Structure 1
């Protein structure tokens, strides 16, 4: 297969040889140093272009190049000026290097290596700092992105998408080495990863410092995810970092900067009573790539199936008295109800039937339109809106989507879930941050259900109002807060505040920050005292993260004024970016080799360096002699997988599928959409530049086989049990329940104590089974069990039922453990 721009005209590999990554984690902040080694093996000068992902909240703060004995350190300049200088230098036959952030999404960077002479090697060093997100199990998550899925370009959106060249992992011509050093005031208990690691090595006896490496032989074909666990992780902390000696006092880089990590603790009496109201709006991605497995590990459930199971569990766990609706989207969007409806047995059953029929058959990833429609719906009085977004998506209009969520943040909370390798961290984290919710990533063999239930617990926590932050500082000392105001607080979730400290104080002076809020009508507060004396030898990490925070805030403000040309805000971003050396969407890093007096001869040839793509065989067969990237499905029409028999000459010759030449395998059969309808291919003209005949050729190129992208494992008995629960929280005594319990209907019915209601008996058996056999998954079923217990209390269930249930199921679950 020909991959445009991956190989030279002599079939030699592109010039990126290897990537070396060093990660240093201090408490919950990471510094990442990546070294990219290039070598031009051709007989002509090369310009290599490498488009790659970084964490969406990373602050890129250093870029340099080593060519032979020459060391070049890049400087930050306004993007247009940097571009012009780069082009001028290449035109004169000199060397230059350009690193820039995408204007559409802050998690995509482009590195241009200009005029690398034949036989020459270059080593490029890239450094960034980032905060580590706290997971539901108290682990800190770091992700080294490897997969950059092609960003879906919504119809009618402005701006050209970034050119991304992706290949199967076996064809990626460069290697990866990855080493980690962890240090913290608290002991490091363990480090886990989705990839194979060498054993953790402790550096000191206190176990507060440790090192670990990626195991040899790792293929850089998936994101490298690390989970770092400390003992007593959720402790409020403050780090005061000294300013840069060479910077002007009073400037951001010249003054000390403090980073506060706050973990508010709410009264247990309030937290024990979860909310019984709310409008829950669930938004599910049904683009083509959702039909792919979550990972390339054998027997891995595909994304849409896992999402459907999760929706079922989430729906069963909702409290009586709330409202809900479910939207699904691709190139278009659908909703189950015209507007949110009250949660009842009837509405729940209707929703579950439609969810069960959903497939990954809606084409692209146009998330902006359904969000716009959701926000246009009037809120229900006394029912706080909670938005749950499930997507594996990568879109070009990330900032536009996030800005829409921010604009409506006063009227809802947004909880986001990134599914599978390569989901955009900028999109997932941005939705949650601007929506006052929480972000989760589901990769590799991760189960989606426990992470979603953690977010549901956050959503059911009482809403905090009147949140304010006040500072108590010595005379002559003031602060300038760099972070945006805190809009949401959750039990056990970290909130970060960055602030610039101006003025002089004694070495023993202390500062105090107080977070005040109202919880369930009761005023409360959390306090943290901290020394104002800067810590020693901590570098400028906190300054750079603070600068990044302020830059992102200003960029958001500038984008909200698009069309009015707010040059003032843009100028502030450029000035701050140049001053701090931190990247922005309006600046770029540029390094020029001015010492190379001999011009490089010959025309410069451009080569695009590939990144690995997430691949999976379709129906057990490879399309066109190779794997087809699952993300390519996002560019296909609705109901692509629900196609007619036959094959057109256009499809056989490759049609509009890039890289697929011949023998397009039959992989689909007709299926209805979730609403029982399917639009005819000729129903309306397409809006994306493809003729209807091209879509017809696609439909007719697919045959009658089932379009399953992976072998589905047997359904989990826990999910089977959950599917049988009623909206009220009870179970009914029927053969399906008996089968899950591992008993016959006769055994279950004959052991029921006399005069006991059948539903009461069935519900107690279900609870005993959960406590007796599924305690390892308690976080998944805890909320629906609480609903079942509430129902049982209302029925005055006799205690003898628990004894009889234990006898039948062979368990020893105490009545108190059930909550009765």
Structure 2
């Protein structure tokens, strides 16, 4: 099989990519991404092709269209079987057709079938999606545009072909990426940092609540584009209102204004002083063969397994005395350092540190379900809340099965996940934390590893604040229908978003918002 990414024929031959344009719009904590990709069929015969591309696991696709010659095709949402039948009928009648599907096994893999692309003809594909941005340990908001879709491990005996997509050296990338972003926030935008070279941040107004950001000219799309956005007064609650569509009927979700409330509180010291000194900490470390690859294109000397070890060693040295812990590592099979969790003391810590330092990426595939099932089968230690820390560099094709298992056992543990290296599956990393009631971190280099690690450990040790209520202050005649699930608990450093539909005469932004705990 030929290793390539993007648009490929059913015979696995690449369709040449001509250009990529990406427009990013960030409103407070939510990003809208519009990607336009242009291809050309340079063969002397029509081709049917498949386009495989990555999206954040929680992204919502809100527009998809394709232009072939002078003809534009705009996607419609239909029942899966009906859509497949219409696609086959169009192909058999000689018409162009597009079929966009989400992977049945992993929510961050989308594939699109393109039919009837004539010789010499170009195809322009436009995809728009919306996603929430994750908060980092230093209060920044992380946006990542993946350069490639890393290979997903196919567990033995499962159905379907695994996706094999690899990155290529910058010298072999025959195109550049045109990327620009617009930022809007109720509070001033302090700065934007990136793993790539940026042009200076341009403010659009005097209070610095609007700005534009662009990649420096000539950027080769050979690695992930990561942006970290910083706002002033990050812990202040904010509300952003999106107006309803004028073409939609009033009283419907699309016709009414929708408000997004961001809660990112900083708790009093009296609350934070009651940090727990107990718990059972179970570490699950990826030692599959892919962990031997480089962290990113800049730090080729630093492999994922090296970063994995460094992250785990830092966590081990930071555990409180008297807690319990154990370390599992997995690949095709799994291993554990102790038969069961042991008390954390000087002797057990030194034994664990020595074995972690000797770990290599030599356990084959990425069979994460096996060790998870074993961990969940163990008896919980009384009065020691279980905290599961998972370290993994990529993804698996059975992501949904993994997340279902974590959710099923979420009542007896919290799950904290670490995506190691560029290209880690956001669906898997964020999904583990979401279903396990923990927090997700992405470690793509050595620069911000330590604060991220310590933040997750602090979450695991600190008490969760419960009994949360939100009071809306609205103009007379305006009401709100909350669209989000109720917030039952919150950690310091953990952001929560509340969405609500505003109805009534003169529906606008809330006049004030209060939260109490």
Give TM-score scaled by structure 1 length: 0.59
Corresponding residue for residue 292 of structure 1: 293
Is contact 2:135-2:141 (8 Å) kept? yes
SS in 2 for 1:77: coil
Distance 1:80 1:347, change over 3 A: same
Tell which deviates more after alignment, 375-384 or 251-260.
Answer: 251-260
Q: Quote how far apart the aligned CAs of 1:467 are.
A: 4.7
Match of 1:530 in 2: none
Q: Distance in 1 between matches of 2:479 and 2:106?
A: 35
CA gap 1:4/1:421 in 2 versus in 1, 3 angstroms: closer
2:149–2:165 contact (8 Å) kept in structure 1 = no
SS of 2:110's partner is strand
Return the alpha-carbon distance in structure 2 between the equivalents of residues 475 and 339 of structure 1.
60
Question: Which residue does 1:262 correspond to in 2?
Answer: 263
Within 2, Cα distance between the matches of 1:35 and 1:350? 53
Aligned to 2:168: 168
Contact 1:292 1:302 in 2 (8 A): yes
The Cα shift of 1:208 comes to 2.3
Task: Give the structure 1 partner of residue 23 of structure 2.
Answer: 22
Preserved contact between residue 194 and residue 444 of structure 1 (Cα < 8 Å): no
Partners of 1:18 and 1:67 in 2: how far apart? Answer: 15
2:501 corresponds to: 500
Distance in 1 between the 2:500 and 2:459 partners?
27
Q: 1:378 to 1:482 in 2, by over 3 A?
A: farther
Superposed, 1:468-507 pairs within 5 Å as 479-501=480-502, 503-505=503-505
Between the aligned partners of 1:182 and 1:391, the Cα distance in structure 2 is 31
Q: For the residues of structure 2 that align with 1:432 and 1:301, how far apart are their CA atoms?
A: 26
In structure 2, C-alpha distance between the alignment counterparts of 1:225 and 1:98, rounded to whole Å: 29
> What's the secondary structure of 2:396's corresponding residue?
coil
Residue 348 of structure 1 aligns with which residue? 349
What corresponds to 1:397 in structure 2? 398
Structure 2 residue aligned with 1:329: 330
What CA distance in whole angstroms lies between the structure 1 residues aligned with 2:8 and 2:251? 52
Q: CA deviation at 1:175?
A: 3.4
Does 2:92 match 1:85? Answer: no
How do residues 251-650 of structure 1 correspond to structure 2 at under 5 angstroms? 251-298=252-299, 300-467=301-468, 479-501=480-502, 503-505=503-505, 510=510, 525-526=516-517
Q: CA deviation at 1:440?
A: 0.7
Gap runs ≥5 in structure 1 = 516-524, 527-820
For 2:467 and 2:339, the matched residues in 1 are separated by: 33
- Do the aligned residues in 2 keep the contact of 1:307 with 1:448 (CA within 8 Å)? no
For the Cα contact (< 8 Å) 1:437–1:488, is it kept in 2?
no
Higher-helix-fraction structure: 1
Partner of 2:105: 104
Structure 1 residue 246: Cα displacement: 3.6
Q: 1 or 2, which has the higher strand percentage?
A: 2
Provide the C-alpha distance between the structure 2 equivalents of 1:425 and 1:478, rounded to a whole number of angstroms.
Answer: 35
1:413-472 alpha-carbon deviations (Å, 9 max, x no partner): 111100011110000001111111111111145443321111111111113344555667
Kindly state the Cα deviation for residue 33 of structure 1 after the two structures are TM-superposed. 0.9
Does residue 142 of structure 2 align to residue 136 of structure 1? Answer: no
Give the match for residue 50 of structure 1.
Answer: 51
Do the aligned partners of residues 68 and 136 (structure 1) sit closer, same or farther apart at CA in structure 2, a change above 3 Å counting?
same
Give the match for residue 225 of structure 1: 226
Contact 2:241/2:509 (8 A) holds in 1 = no
CA distance in 1, matches of 2:189, 2:476: 39
Distance change >3 Å, CA 267–CA 109, structure 1 → 2: same
Post-superposition offset of 1:492: 2.8
Cα drift, residue 199 of structure 1? 2.2
Separation in structure 2 between the aligned mates of residue 51 and residue 20 of structure 1, nearest angstrom: 17
Partner of 1:124: 125
SS class of match (1:61): strand
Partners of 1:4 and 1:270 lie apart in 2 by: 52
CA drift at 1:174: 4.3
Q: Quote the Cα distance in structure 2 between the aligned partners of 1:296 and 1:37.
A: 25
Higher RCO structure (Cα 8 Å, ≥6 apart) = 1
> Residues 513 and 377 (structure 1 numbering): CA distance in 2 closer, same or farther, change over 3 Å?
farther
Q: Aligned to 1:76, what secondary structure does the other structure show?
A: coil
CA positional deviation for 1:187: 2.0
Distance 1:484 1:365, change over 3 A: farther
Q: Quote the RMSD (CA, aligned, Å).
A: 2.7
Shift of 1:250: 4.3
- Equivalent pair of 2:467/2:489 in contact (CA under 8 Å): no
Measured in 2, the distance between the counterparts of 1:73 and 1:104 equals 26
Deviations 1:38-63 (A, max 9, x none): 22222211223221111112111011
SS of 1:485's equivalent in the other structure is coil
Q: How much has 1:514 moved relative to structure 2?
A: 6.0
1:497 Cα offset (Å): 1.6
1:507–1:352 CA distance, 2 compared to 1 (3 A): closer
Larger radius of gyration: 1
Question: Residues 421 and 3 (structure 1 numbering): CA distance in 2 closer, same or farther, change over 3 Å?
Answer: closer
